[in-house]
């Protein structure tokens, strides 16, 4: 059968069903401009070697209401977390009597662009490092404070604050540093590995079926450019590794520890899969 | 009298269950020929009403997550990952529907994202408490197959 015919028939049945439910399939055609001034790139051509041709931010798959909340920084509840992060940035902690600001001054200057370029290679640790782990490194090595436990203490708000300084800037990951390419490859394997009793991989949902509904959920490309994101369903900021673990758990599999080598590889790879999309932190999702 | 009846019913149910267990084909012993599984997995006829519930239930089949189904128009949110199952019984024979539910990969190849509901051919790192377990029991599969057979 003619491929166009199949597609249009599928679109027809899908669209009529969705219209009856008041839902919209495939990424919506809409532009994100925050507070009427900051333009966010939510669609971009994929880098070479990518399984998808066109990349879309998860924002393009959300409802009109959810998209409107992200477009207005006063309405965006994630901004409260960012403000909390700013307080932590300026708070002295640990035996050295220092805050983040003691070394880095004004984050609007020193952290601009930083969040858009992580994860990056950490020669000391001989592995990739993300913002959360860089914060812990500074706390231990420069402040004489304890490392934050996963998702605890100020980890989410401070990460959101730092990433927010790069809002609107394109995500890039430098694979030429250290062994980044190897971690990218390991991450790719994880991405395509079918797991659990349901026997599904990230690609089963976010590559093969992006744009379709799985029950009430509109499947996006699983892009990571908005993390930590504010999830309306859970009423709080959600970290990237929490989201990874949740998606793997949903396949009825054992899930790896946060910041484990497996999930760090996955972060390197999925960040690359969103190359060129703007940082949206704190994005708003359902 | 009522008491006697309910005892009798209880006894029949127990007998039926024992019978079902004794005749249940284990996941690894299922034989597929020409895409079909000819025999019932349990020897006990499937209950379409029960199958309909399993189809909808998020905890059991959750088939609605991926398939639209007009027979469930009262339910919100039908998925679009797989084809609509309206009229599916006119497209496939009962023994093929059984294969699709037992192990969709046997019909649609490894490329399908549809889980195998009575198969131990699962993904990596399966949750520890689920090792050796199938998503649905043999009788639940028979119930779902009996329900699918009503979708003409």
pLDDT tens digits, A111-130: 999 999 999 999 999 999 99
Give the pLDDT of residue B52: 98
Which CATH number does the domain B2-148 belong to among 3.30.390.50, 1.10.760.10, 1.10.1060.10, 3.90.1150.10?
1.10.760.10
Angle at B123 between CA B118 and CA B127, to 5 degrees: 85
Domain boundary among A101, A133, A164: A164
Q: What is the mean pLDDT of chain A?
A: 93
CB pairs under 8 A between A and B: 87
Please state the separation of Cα A102 from the chain's center in Å: 28
Chain A residues lying within 8 Å of B76, measured CB to CB: 21, 216
CA–CA separation, B6 and B50 (whole Å): 21
| Distance from the B97 Cα atom to the nearest Cα atom in chain A, whole angstroms | 19
Q: Which residues of B touch A (CB under 8 A)?
A: 58, 62, 64-66, 68, 76-81, 84, 113, 115-116, 121-128, 130, 133, 135
Kindly determine whether residue B81 and residue A209, on different chains, have CB atoms separated by under 8 Å: yes
Residues A253 and A183 in one domain: yes
> What sign has the CA pseudo-torsion A173, A176, A178, A180?
positive
Q: Mean pLDDT across the stretch A206-215?
A: 96
Contact B76 A251 (CB under 8 A): no
Domain housing A32? 21-76+174-285
Q: What CATH number corresponds to the domain at position A95?
A: 1.10.760.10
Average pLDDT over residues A77-99: 98
Lowest mean pLDDT of A10-14, A94-98, A176-180, name the range. Answer: A10-14
Report pLDDT for B23.
85
Separation CA B42–CA B139 (nearest Å): 6
Average pLDDT of B71-95?
97
Clarify whether residues A109 and A242 are in a common domain: no
A261 plus A227 within the same structural domain:
yes
Contact A253 B113 (CB under 8 A): no
Q: Which residue matches tokens 């079902």?
A: B20
Give A284's strand partners.
A230
How far is it, in rounded angstroms, from Cα B152 to Cα B146? 12
How many angstroms separate the Cα of A213 from the Cα of each of A13, A25, B14, B60, B67?
13, 7, 42, 19, 10
The DSSP secondary structure of chain B, one letter per residue, reads -HHHHHHHHHHHHHHHHHHHHHHPPPGGG---BTTB--S-SSSS---HHHHHHHHH-TTTT-GGGT---GGGTTSS----SS---TTHHHHS-HHHHHHHHH-THHHH-TT--PPPTT-S---BTB-GGGTT--SS-HHHHHHHHHHHTT--
User: What does DSSP assign to residue A218?
Assistant: E
**Does residue A47 fall inside a structural domain?**
yes
Question: Quick one: pLDDT at residue B16?
Answer: 46
Both structure tokens of A105: 């001054």
Question: Average pLDDT in the B2-6 region?
Answer: 49
Contact B122 A197 (CB under 8 A): yes
Complex prediction ipTM: 0.90
In terms of domains, do A181 and A246 share one? yes
Q: Are A228 and A161 in contact (CB under 8 A)?
A: no
CA-based nearest distance B66→chain A, Å: 6
Same structural domain for residues A41 and A121?
A: no
Which of B113, B121, B130 is closest, CB to CB, to A252? B130
- Average predicted confidence (pLDDT) for chain B: 90
- The answer to whether residue A213 neighbours chain B at the CB level (below 8 Å) is yes
Q: Are residues A201 and A260 in the same domain?
A: yes
What is the distance between the alpha carbons of residues A263 and A227, in angstroms, rounded to a whole number? 15
The rounded distance, in Å, linking the Cα atoms of B44 and A91 is 69
Same domain? For A180 and A147 the reply is no
Interface test with B, best of A9, A199, A248 (most B CBs within 10 A): A199
Q: Does A21 touch chain B (CB under 8 A)?
A: yes
Annotated catalytic residues of A are 247
Nearest-CA distance from B5 to chain A in Å?
41
Q: Is A198 contained in some domain?
A: yes
For residue A207, what is the DSSP state?
Answer: T
How far apart, in whole angstroms, are the C-alpha atoms of residue A253 and residue A250?
7
Which residue does chain A place closest to B68, by CA atoms?
A17
Which segments within chain A are labelled E, that is strand?
32-34, 38-40, 43-45, 54-56, 120-122, 127-129, 213-214, 217-218, 229-231, 236-238, 284-285
Q: Quick one: A199 and A61 in the same domain? A: yes
Residues of chain B contacting A205 with CB distance shorter than 8 Å = 113
Task: Specify whether A187 is located in the same domain as A45.
Answer: yes
Distance CA A135, CA A118 (A): 12
From A110, A143, A164, the end of a domain falls on A164
Q: How far apart are CA A174 and CA A285, in angstroms?
A: 27
pLDDT at A10 over 70: no
pLDDT digits (tens, 9 = 90+) for B24-67: 999 999 999 999 999 999 999 999 999 999 999 999 999 999 99
Euclidean distance between CA atoms A128 and B10, whole angstroms: 62
Q: A100, A133, A164: which is the final residue of a domain? A: A164
Same domain for A240 and A114?
no
* Same structural domain, A83 and A142: yes
Smallest Cα distance from A127 to chain B, Å: 24
Top residue of B27, B64, B87, B113 to mutate, by most chain A CBs within 10 Å, is B113
Give the pLDDT score at B21.
Answer: 62
How many domains, in total, are found in chain A? 2
How far is the C-alpha of A192 from the C-alpha of B48, rounded, in Å?
36
Q: Indicate whether A223 and A94 sit together in one domain.
A: no
What pLDDT, on the 0 to 100 scale, is given for residue A25?
57
Query: Could you say which of B64, B66, B77 has the minimum Cβ distance to residue A21?
Result: B77
pLDDT in the model for residue A4: 38
């Amino acid at each position: 059968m003619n491929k166009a015919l199949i597609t249009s028939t599928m679109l027809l049945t899908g669209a009529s069903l969705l219209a009856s439910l008041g839902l919209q399939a495939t990424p919506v055609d809409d532009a994100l401009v925050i507070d009427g001034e900051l333009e966010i790139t939510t669609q971009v051509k994929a880098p070479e070697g990518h399984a998808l041709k066109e990349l879309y931010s998860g924002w393009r798959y959300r409802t009109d209401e959810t998209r409107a909340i992200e477009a207005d920084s006063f309405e965006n509840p994630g901004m409260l977390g960012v403000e909390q992060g700013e307080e932590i940035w300026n708070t002295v902690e640990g035996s050295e009597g220092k805050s983040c600001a003691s070394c880095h001054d004004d984050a609007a200057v020193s952290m601009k662009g930083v969040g858009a370029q992580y994860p990056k290679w950490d020669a000391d640790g001989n592995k990739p490092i993300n913002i959360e782990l860089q914060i812990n490194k500074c706390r231990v090595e420069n402040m004489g404070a304890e490392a934050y436990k996963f998702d605890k203490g100020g980890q989410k708000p401070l990460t959101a604050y730092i990433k927010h300084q790069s809002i609107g800037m394109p995500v890039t990951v430098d694979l030429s540093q250290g062994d980044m390419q190897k971690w990218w490859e390991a991450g790719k394997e994880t991405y395509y590995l079918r797991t659990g009793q349901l026997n599904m991989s990230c690609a089963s949902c976010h590559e093969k079926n992006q744009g379709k509904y799985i029950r009430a959920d509109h499947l996006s490309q699983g892009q990571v450019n908005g993390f930590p994101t504010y999830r309306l369903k859970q009423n709080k900021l959600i970290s990237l590794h929490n989201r990874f673990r949740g998606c793997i758990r949903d396949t009825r599999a054992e899930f790896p520890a946060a910041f484990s080598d497996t999930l760090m590889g996955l972060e390197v790879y999925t960040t690359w899969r969103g190359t060129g999309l703007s940082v949206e932190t704190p994005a708003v999702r359902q | 009298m009522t008491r006697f009846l309910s005892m009798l019913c209880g006894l029949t149910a127990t007998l039926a269950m024992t019978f079902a267990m004794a005749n249940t084909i284990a996941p690894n012993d299922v034989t597929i020929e020409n895409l079909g599984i000819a025999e019932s997995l349990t020897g006990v006829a499937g209950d379409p009403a029960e199958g309909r519930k399993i189809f909808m239930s998020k905890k059991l089949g959750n088939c609605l997550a991926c398939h639209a189904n007009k027979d469930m128009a009262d339910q919100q949110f039908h998925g679009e990952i797989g084809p609509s199952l309206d009229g599916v019984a006119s497209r496939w024979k009962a023994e093929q529907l059984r294969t699709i539910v037992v192990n969709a990969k046997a019909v649609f190849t490894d490329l399908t994202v549809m889980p195998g509901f009575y198969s131990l051919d699962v993904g990596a790192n399966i949750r520890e408490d689920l090792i050796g377990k199938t998503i649905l029991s043999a009788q639940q599969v028979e119930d779902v197959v009996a329900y699918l057979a009503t979708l003409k």
